[in-house]
């Protein structure tokens, strides 16, 4: 993805710019970040504001049969920003 007049780059909230996350979505370096594909930054619309539901983290906490894990916030697609 390339920048345009209506977007700018922000540090990826999901991996905090590391580009890597743990398999369960928590902090770690098991796998490439599913949000930024390992780049550490995401393209954000210039009009976007921090997403309140996930508190700008891009993450929603889930509780499943194998314990807690973190999923990509579906509304802001894990960027933590929403228009």
The footprint of Zn ion (CB under 5 A) covers: 12, 14-15, 33, 35-36, 51, 54, 73, 75-76
Joined together, the tokens standing for residue 64 give 């499943």
DSSP single-letter state for residue 28: S
CA–CA gap between residue 62 and residue 48 (Å, rounded): 25
> CB–CB of 73/51 below 8 Å?
yes
**CB 49, min distance to Zn ion, A:** 11
**CB 61, min distance to Zn ion, A:** 12
**CB 48, min distance to Zn ion, A:** 11
């Amino acid at each position: 993805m390339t920048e345009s007049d209506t977007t700018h780059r922000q540090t990826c909230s999901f991996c905090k710019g590391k580009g890597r996350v743990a398999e369960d979505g928590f902090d770690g370096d098991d796998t490439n970040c599913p949000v930024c594909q390992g780049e550490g930054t995401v393209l954000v619309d210039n009009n976007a504001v921090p997403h309140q539901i996930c508190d700008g983290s891009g993450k929603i906490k889930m509780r499943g049969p194998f314990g807690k894990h973190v999923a990509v916030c579906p509304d802001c697609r894990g960027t933590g920003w929403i228009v």
